[in-house]
Amino acid sequence: MITSQARPTVSLRLSVTEQCQLGCLYCRPAPGSSASKCTCASEPLPFDDIAYFVGLIQSHFSLTKVHLTGGEPLLRPNLAQLIRLLTDQKLDLALTTNAQCLKKHASPLKQAGLKRVNVSLDSLNPATFANMTRGGDVKRTLAGIQQASDVQLQPIKLNMTVLRGLNDHEIEDVAHYGLRTGCEVRFLELMPIGPAQDRFDQFFVSAAEVHKRLTREFSLNPIEAKPGQSARRYLARDSQGRKGVLGQIAPYTRPFCQGCRRLRLTSTGQLITCLASGNAIDLSQWLRQRNLRSERIIKEIVTRELDAKCMRGPFDTSRSMVAVGG
Ligand code: SAM
């Protein structure tokens, strides 16, 4: 029996494809390695199945936030169609993207009902960016951010995953860029999953170290956190009096498991409740069936998995974010 005295809060991250045109060193297994094979045995879930899942969750839980992600979500053909299906359901709808194609897509996606974007931006330097992403063009990402701003896909959040020896010398530059452009920059700790497992000790930079660096150039005043929020956010001010918001997400040194109500659905319909664990439950057959029985089963699985959420154990998965949906 499903118990739902008060409707539990849930936020969803939906991967719409495993495909990505970039190959971020810590996210996607190296080409040719055994782990590099796409895990999608079949086509990604059709939009109707995704919208059905969202509607089901919404009817049973308190769902306010939905992030579309991937892989690179802008590579999924006709993404605006999915956004239209989801905006009918009155959600805070965000997209996490590398923004390589955002210049072209920002306006149609905004018109379809997308509210805001999170953009991965590990460097402003063309050579560093190309190296970390295996061939990405930072100019395209910056043009995408500009276009998102022009069409009011706001607030724009920029995610910088910090890796020692690769981009840690650019922490301050990216923070200044955020203040100049009015985007909130969040510095992410590397997680030891997927290809980041191998050289984790070499690359890892703690949030505490990043914070120390930032305080040399910015005054940082903590902003009160909302329940379940993963980022610690600060009102930042630089030496010229320019203001903005900087944040830190520290899944490794400061796990935010308490109050975590995130659920992930992979592009093939696997339900994942914790990034640290390798567990996944295949919902695809139930999503396809769409009858009263399958609806009850999905609700029961989700309720059970939410109830079982607890402080995570050690990171224990070779599954990469490109396959999970970050
Ligand atoms: N392609 C989109 C993008 O680049 O934003 C969405 C998917 S990507 C997997 C989402 C986020 O996952 C990126 O911001 C990336 O930095 C983060 N990510 C991937 N692997 C990670 C790891 N091992 N540790 C921390 N963050 C990771």
Residue located nearest, by CA, to atom 1 of ligand 1: 72
Residues 184, 188, 193, 195: is their CA dihedral positive or negative? positive
Counting ligand 1 atoms within 8 A of each CB, the residue from 18, 26, 27, 159 with the most, and so the one to mutate, is: 27
Residue located nearest, by CA, to atom 20 of ligand 1: 27
Pocket of ligand 1 (CB under 6 A): 20, 26-27, 69-70, 72, 96-98, 120, 159, 161, 188, 190-191, 193-194, 196, 321-322, 326
Rounded mean pLDDT of 62-69? 94
Rounded mean pLDDT of 161-188? 98
- Residue partners of 173: CB distance under 8 A and separation at least 6: 124, 125
Q: Hey, which residues does 15 pair with through a beta bridge?
A: 69
Q: Which two three-digit tokens encode residue 182? A: 């009015």
Distance 126 CA to ligand 1 centre (A): 19
- pLDDT in the model for residue 246: 98
Closest CA to 173 of 188, 163, 160, 156: 160
Over residues 224-260, the pLDDT tens digits come to 998 778 999 999 999 999 999 999 999 999 988 878 8
Distance 270 CA to ligand 1 centre (A): 18
Closest CA to 13 of 227, 274, 276, 263: 263
Q: How far apart are the first and last CA of the chain?
A: 32
**Cβ–Cβ < 8 Å for 292, 42:** no
- pLDDT in the model for residue 237: 98
Q: Are strands 184-188 and 270-272 parallel, antiparallel or unpaired?
A: unpaired
Q: Which band of pLDDT confidence, cut at 50, 70 and 90, is reported for residue 41?
A: low
Burial of 40 (0-12, 13-18, 19+ CB in 10 A): middle
Distance 167 CA to ligand 1 centre (A): 15
Distance 266 CA to ligand 1 centre (A): 14
